[in-house]
Amino acid sequence: MPSDPFPSVSAAATAGTPEVTHVPNHQTAALIVAAGKGLRAGGGLAKQWRPLAGRRVIDWTLDAFRKVGIDQIALVLSPQDTEIWQEFAAQDDILLTRGGATRSQSVANGLELLAHHDVDRVLIHDAARPCVSGRVVHDVLSALDTSLAAAPALAVTDALWRGADGYVTGTQDRAGLHAAQTPQGFRLAEIRAAHQQLAANSMEAADDVEVARAAGIDVAIIPGDPDNMKITRPEDFDRAARILGGDMDVRLGNGYDVHRFGPGDEVVLCGVPLAHDRGLQGHSDADVGLHAITDALYGALAEGDIGRHFPPSDPQWKGAASDIFLRHAADLTRSKGYQISNVDCTLVCEFPKITPHAPAMRTVVAEILSIDISRVSIKATTSERLGFTGRGEGIAAIATACVVKP
Ligand SMILES: Nc1ccn([C@@H]2O[C@H](COP(=O)(O)OP(=O)(O)OP(=O)(O)O)[C@@H](O)[C@H]2O)c(=O)n1
Ligand SMILES: C[C@](O)(CO)[C@H](O)COP(=O)(O)O
């Protein structure tokens, strides 16, 4: 952590594989405000850091902009979020700055940051809108070619009432009313000046369109998307998860492996060496647990099994540490666009006793897979002295893996 806990961080822009490629003539930044407390959403942790459909809200939001090939992302964080700051400071395509007490102040800080970079257009977006589509981002960007400012909105279709104390006290004509969404797109110099004017007048605004209009900037309305909801209340998480989960590809795989006992004084199980009166025989280190988990991942990807990727006939794998195999399966999983959601492995043996070593095994497997330890389960059972495991002739392992492509 630098001495100033919240300096602005700059790095080269990179982008993931675009789904909808925008080829801009202008340098465009996405300014994502994530410095709010999310009080209405409850739950302790601010909503942008909470899990949603297998990832955090913020991860969905950032990816939505990366996928359309935005040149630069500026992220505005609360001064309290020091660990989060460190995480994002390590990401090459993200600039960071601290937020203010209100959304407008957070946006203003982000605009000041961008003013020191080669950016002339900005899309200002709520971190709390993780379901924004490539279509909406693209349409706002395109509208900026012909308008000074543009923002998505939905025409109000429900009847509108005024109410007090639980009773309707009046009605409101809905003609011409719109529900505002983000991203709201502007020329950087103009929206920056507009925010400076707002601050100079000690004013507040609900959104940046209001700021722009106060400065005399005309804003074009772009068709919004009902799915581009802002997570505001606790129940909004379920709706957002349903929206994001719609295209989610969830896959399960299983793996099973057996190695027989032979001479030796140690076995390696799930990456942890355990003293034992015999060893396990195999071409590699015979880590039956890692082999089962590896096969479960290959199975989830329909990529055959460990023998296909690491043939036993190949002398280079003789005595190999089995983390090589599992790392390969994990890399293959990610290269195909999947995230490892969780793995569960059961070792079947009478001896050695596994339970005391299960925490160490979980730690090793979590490290190899680069996932949180809470997503790794290692457990054991005997086979009641029945069969080859019961007679102490060998150890079996069975594993399940779940991978998810958002
Ligand atoms: N001081 C603030 C307040 C809000 N925001 C961001 O502005 C977006 C929209 O604001 P809102 O939904 O009102 O978020 P919160 O202020 O966090 O919510 P609440 O009012 O329930 O506390 C969110 O992404 C939020 O993180 C911000 O960056 N800085
Ligand atoms: C900017 C905004 O998302 C537009 O709808 C909204 O105004 C911000 O949220 P808040 O609930 O008004 O703070």
Q: Decide if pLDDT at 20 tops 80.
A: no
2 lies in some domain? no
Query: Do residue 287 and residue 382 come from a single domain?
Result: yes
Do 98 and 211 share a domain, yes or no?
yes
Residue 180: CB within 6 Å of ligand 1? no
What pLDDT shows up at residue 44? 87
Residues making up the annotated binding site for a divalent metal cation are 257, 259, 291
Residue 322 is assigned to a structural domain of this protein: yes
pLDDT of residue 248: 73
The domain that holds 344 is classified in CATH as 3.30.1330.50
Nearest atom in ligand 1 to the alpha carbon of residue 231 is: 12
Query: pLDDT tens across 320-358, in order?
Result: 899 999 999 999 999 998 999 999 999 999 999 999 999
Residues with CB under 6 A from ligand 2: 103, 126, 180-182, 206-207, 230, 232
Whether the CB of 36 sits within 6 Å of ligand 1: yes
Separation of 205 CA from ligand 2 center, angstroms?
9
ipTM (interface pTM): 0.95
Per residue, the 3-state secondary structure of 296-311, as one string, reads HHHHHCCCCCHHHHCC
Query: Do both 210 and 280 map to the same domain?
Result: no
- Which of 228, 245, 262 finishes a domain? 245
Centre of ligand 1 from the C-alpha of residue 242, in Å: 22
- For 214, the domain range is 28-245
Q: Measured between alpha carbons, how far is 289 from 268 in angstroms, rounded to an integer?
A: 9
Between the alpha carbon of residue 348 and those of residues 154, 236, 259, the distances in Å are 58, 43, 11
Report, as an integer, the average pLDDT of 368-384: 96
- Among candidates 121, 118, 165, 117, which has minimal Cα distance to 141? 121
> Alpha-carbon distance 54 to 67, whole Å?
18
Residues 45 and 60 in one domain: yes
Instruction: Give the number of whichever ligand sits closest to the CA of residue 32.
Output: 1
Distance 182 CA to ligand 2 centre (A): 8
Residue identifier of the C-alpha nearest atom 10 of ligand 2: 206
Q: Are residues 108 and 40 in the same domain?
A: yes
Q: Categorize the per-residue pLDDT at 246 as very low, low, confident or very high, splitting at 50, 70 and 90.
A: low
**67 residue type, one letter:** K
Which atom number of ligand 1 is nearest to the Cα of residue 33? 28
Domain end (from 245, 269, 286): 245
299 and 216 together in one domain:
no
Distance 230 CA to ligand 2 centre (A): 8
Work out the burial of residue 136: count CB atoms within 10 Å of its CB; fewer than 13 is exposed, 13-18 middle, 19 or more buried.
buried
Nearest ligand, CA 84: 1
User: Residue 309 above 80 pLDDT?
Assistant: yes
Q: How many domains does the chain have?
A: 2
Average pLDDT of the chain?
92
**Does the structure show a pLDDT above 50 at 253?**
yes
| Mean pLDDT, rounded, for 244-266 | 92
224, 245, 266: which is the final residue of a domain? 245
Say whether both 236 and 322 belong to one domain.
no
Check if 129 has its Cβ closer than 6 Å to any atom of ligand 1. Answer: no
Ligand 1: does its nearest atom lie under 6 Å from the Cβ of 281?
no
> What does the pLDDT average to over 281-292?
96
Calculate what percentage of the chain has a pLDDT beyond 90: 86
Ligand 1 proximity of 141 Cβ (cutoff 6 Å): no
- Indicate whether 139 and 240 sit together in one domain: yes
Residues 295, 224 share a domain = no
Q: Is 106 in the pocket of ligand 1 (CB under 6 A)?
A: yes
Strands 72-77 and 94-98 come out as: parallel
Q: What span, in angstroms and rounded, lies between the C-alpha atoms of 92 and 238?
A: 31
Do 212 and 339 lie in one domain? The reply is: no
pLDDT score recorded for residue 1? 32
Tokens representing 403 are: 């991978």
Q: Whose CA is nearest to atom 11 of ligand 2?
A: 232
- For residue 281, the model assigns a pLDDT of 96
Nearest bound ligand to the CA of residue 101: 1
Same domain for 216 and 240, yes or no, is yes
Which domain CATH number covers 52? Answer: 3.90.550.10
What per-residue confidence (pLDDT) applies to 26? Answer: 73
144 lines ligand 1 (CB under 6 A): no
Ligand 1 centroid to Cα of residue 34, in Å, is 7
How much distance in Å is there from the Cα of 156 to the middle of ligand 2?
16
Of the listed ligands, the closest to the CA of 41 is 1
Give a yes or no: residue 8 inside a domain. no
> Domain for residue 5, yes or no?
no
Residues 97 and 164 in one domain: yes
Measure Cα distances from 80 to 35, 76, 101, 368 in Å: 9, 12, 12, 31
